[in-house]
Structure 1
């Protein structure tokens, strides 16, 4: 998950802050110190994430494009210049341009906005931007929400009392709400000083940039691993009172399965899994998805050159063409697999399935799977010529009658025209006519589309009047009968509007 750091370099950031030792610092100096602390943490724990640095006042400037070189970010943050007034809307437009150009709309991104809480003055200020949200033209809309998934963190080099004395806090909360609400506002706790700013950035690190350490188990083997990016809690919408589910720190491999059998499963997110003991310098790589990472770590690169189960697992999955099913929590599973970025680069990846006992219907319940050795006969055959998947459901479903769905007007028009074509060929197409008529009738009743029944009834009455002299006498009787039955159904009469009721042909003396 790439990060964009937005640094406020307006004149209000140059306001002095008195320290206990008599040294006078600017708010900008405190913010730079906090960002250096963040970059040092990311260099140690999030080396594989991309980060960009932007500065803004009334205009914005991309100081460092997305990179993994945290030395370049620290050098750029230490040589900031001072500019004019604050314009947060302009900075957000800049974020939108930079992220879309580099990652597109599908990649989630974190935005860290560092400011002193000053909203700016006059036109272009945050206050003015939020007041004019509904009076804007289409080409001048406010940049939030971004077209890509976003988490916004606003760090104010000011305490809450200072922000609440004006309407700054209220406007910043509205800004966070417009971004999607998936973020947080951090303020300085207590007097403004170096120590309190460090504590504020520490809260951000704990909340958004704390590494996820876990232990990967497979029978008697285990390995300490680190997961990038940190798995987010998941809410199951079907639950009455959903409780966020989190990936537990003990990841247990419950079995292995061939890649062909698991196919391309729907997943919530993808994460990189690395042995914690691996310690190698990460070279600057080109841009790409967050999951495109460094070369496969080998046993010789592990600290102490000791055997590592994670490296063994990665190599085995890569050679055998299999994936490992891993349990993430109660009735929650995922899979571990080798992903090759190129001929020389491959990574051990983990994909999270939807919570539940059977996230992949063609595998059935994962808890019902077992080793091939315990089966009465090899389900793959002697020469791997067959597969036990997809698992057939116990109850055989009938698909003889398709469900009628009208998404577009053309679909409804086609069904009505089919009835009219058969109506003009009565009595030869008697069976087909009533079959299509009943199918349309049931769909209209299911949707509460009473007007459709009346409309088709009028069309059938019109067809009756347009019958040629050479038409069979039975055609007129059947059309009048069908039109009358549709009108009775549209009147919601309990007898004729019943869903199970079918319109049957009218008995006449003309039938042979």
Structure 2
């Protein structure tokens, strides 16, 4: 999730802050000090976070576009100039333009400011309620600013986990931190969080899992320990290069994460990973460029069967346990998609009349086939039964009576050269529709079909 830092550079930020017995600071100096704390924290814990720096007064200016170079961000803070008055609306418009141009309209974004609290809280509510407004607690001074920016540990805390693959395991960092998910269809929904123990439960071909719907995607980085650093503080340090790939980040230490990433990329497969109780995701290789790829973790919707074409995840098993190879000897078949026991409603031929023209088209189709009897007998009754079922489903009894009158009219208008079977079939169909429109249970049943009347004109 990208971060946009919006810095107020109006004249009000040059107001002095008097601190007893210490050096005099401007409001701008306190803001720069706090932002330097933020950038240093992100450089140590969130180096893959894309961050942009904007300055605004009555207008806005993008000082540093989205980057992972935190030195460039800190250098831009030291060269800020002073402008005129504050206009928050201009800043928000600038944030909207910058984020949409780089990430699109569906990307969430972090924004923090201390002015107009009511308006900001309303903005958070309108944007979905996700977010937090941090303000300085107490008098404006260096200590209170440091305390406020100290809360960045909550918003930018790394997510460390252990990835298990059989008897092998590896320490990894998931970036960005997976957010808690609430399942709406539960009676008493409880936020679900991703476990710190990620267990691989199996492997699948990319073609079988296709492009599944996911709620979020995360980069999985192996944590490599630098053994050359003196362990003075009692803990090891983590080595992460700038924009590292999965193979680069591990350094010289053996790591199953690197082996797994390479195998998935070469074999064209994905790994199903268990995130929690009835919650799954997949590990797969994703290329950022032609020469560099990373291992990604995509999170499915919580539930036992997040991908309908796979069925329940717990019902999947290794090929070796199957009576025969479900893919065939020459990979000519596949066990997927799994055929559901209940036929989906959207897979059935459903008649819907949204406009009058649609109903008129269906009636005209019946009349065209009626004029071609007996050659179109089967098509005539097929279309007639389709319209009849739709009318019964909608309670449109008048339609049945109206179509019956039309068929009787067509019967009286048959030319002398018409086949005699046509008159019998039209009269029979009209009589059946009239009985159905009258509510006769024998003829008004939804599953009842009108069948052609048997005739014999062979002689």
Task: Tell me the residue number matched to 1:238.
Answer: 185
Q: Distance in 2 between matches of 1:479 and 1:351?
A: 57
Q: Distance in 2 between matches of 1:60 and 1:398?
A: 53
Partners of 1:188 and 1:200 within 8 A in 2: yes
Assess, with a 3 A threshold, how the Cα gap between structure 1 residues 438 and 76 changes in structure 2: closer, same or farther.
same
Any gaps of 5 or more consecutive residues in structure 1? 118-167, 283-292
Match of residue 192, structure 1, among 140, 153, 160 = 140
What is the count of residue pairs matched by the alignment?
438
Give 1:319 deviation, angstroms: 2.5
Task: Tell me the residue number matched to 1:109.
Answer: 108
Question: Secondary structure at 2:193's aligned position in 1?
Answer: coil
Is it true that 1:279 corresponds to 2:239 in the alignment?
A: yes
Assess, with a 3 A threshold, how the Cα gap between structure 1 residues 398 and 475 changes in structure 2: closer, same or farther.
same
Task: Tell me the residue number matched to 1:7.
Answer: 7
Match of residue 350, structure 2, among 383, 401, 404 = 404
Partners of 2:160 and 2:172 within 8 A in 1: yes
Question: Secondary structure at 1:48's aligned position in 2?
Answer: coil
Please give the residue correspondences for 1:283-294 in structure 2 after superposition, counting only pairs within 5 Å.
Answer: 294=244
Task: Tell me the residue number matched to 2:427.
Answer: 477
Give 1:398 deviation, angstroms: 10
Task: Tell me the residue number matched to 2:398.
Answer: 454
Give 1:63 deviation, angstroms: 1.0
Question: Secondary structure at 1:37's aligned position in 2?
Answer: helix
Q: Distance in 2 between matches of 1:465 and 1:370?
A: 64
Deviations 1:273-327 (A, max 9, x none): 0012262541xxxxxxxxxx543424xx645x22111112212222333222111
Which segment is superposed worse, 246-255 or 333-342? 333-342
Is it true that 1:342 corresponds to 2:342 in the alignment?
A: no
Is it true that 1:468 corresponds to 2:413 in the alignment?
A: yes
Is it true that 1:368 corresponds to 2:315 in the alignment?
A: yes
Task: Tell me the residue number matched to 1:97.
Answer: 97
Give 1:78 deviation, angstroms: 2.6
Partners of 2:310 and 2:338 within 8 A in 1: no
Give 1:104 deviation, angstroms: 2.8
Partners of 1:445 and 1:499 within 8 A in 2: yes
Q: Distance in 1 between matches of 2:342 and 2:91?
A: 58
Q: Distance in 1 between matches of 2:405 and 2:82?
A: 81
Q: Distance in 2 between matches of 1:193 and 1:494?
A: 85
Partners of 2:403 and 2:430 within 8 A in 1: no
Q: Distance in 1 between matches of 2:272 and 2:179?
A: 19
Give 1:83 deviation, angstroms: 2.3
Q: Distance in 2 between matches of 1:252 and 1:112?
A: 35
Which segment is superposed worse, 19-28 or 343-352? 19-28
Give 1:497 deviation, angstroms: 5.9
Question: Secondary structure at 2:132's aligned position in 1?
Answer: strand
Which segment is superposed worse, 50-59 or 175-184? 175-184
Task: Tell me the residue number matched to 1:140.
Answer: none
Task: Tell me the residue number matched to 1:258.
Answer: 205
Task: Tell me the residue number matched to 2:335.
Answer: 389
Task: Tell me the residue number matched to 1:219.
Answer: 166
Assess, with a 3 A threshold, how the Cα gap between structure 1 residues 82 and 3 changes in structure 2: closer, same or farther.
same
Is it true that 1:440 corresponds to 2:384 in the alignment?
A: no
Task: Tell me the residue number matched to 2:234.
Answer: none
Any gaps of 5 or more consecutive residues in structure 2? 225-237
Give 1:93 deviation, angstroms: 1.8
TM-score (norm 2): 0.83
Question: Secondary structure at 2:183's aligned position in 1?
Answer: coil
Give 1:212 deviation, angstroms: 1.2
Task: Tell me the residue number matched to 1:320.
Answer: 267
TM-score (norm 1): 0.75
Is it true that 1:297 corresponds to 2:242 in the alignment?
A: no
Partners of 2:435 and 2:444 within 8 A in 1: no
Q: Distance in 2 between matches of 1:396 and 1:172?
A: 49
Match of residue 126, structure 2, among 178, 191, 195 = 178
Task: Tell me the residue number matched to 2:62.
Answer: 62
Assess, with a 3 A threshold, how the Cα gap between structure 1 residues 486 and 100 changes in structure 2: closer, same or farther.
farther
Task: Tell me the residue number matched to 2:230.
Answer: none
Assess, with a 3 A threshold, how the Cα gap between structure 1 residues 460 and 387 changes in structure 2: closer, same or farther.
closer
Partners of 1:295 and 1:344 within 8 A in 2: no
Partners of 2:326 and 2:335 within 8 A in 1: no
Partners of 1:59 and 1:91 within 8 A in 2: yes
Is it true that 1:26 corresponds to 2:29 in the alignment?
A: no
Q: Distance in 1 between matches of 2:2 and 2:63?
A: 16
Give 1:200 deviation, angstroms: 2.2
Give 1:272 deviation, angstroms: 0.7
Q: Distance in 1 between matches of 2:350 and 2:266?
A: 48
Give 1:266 deviation, angstroms: 2.4
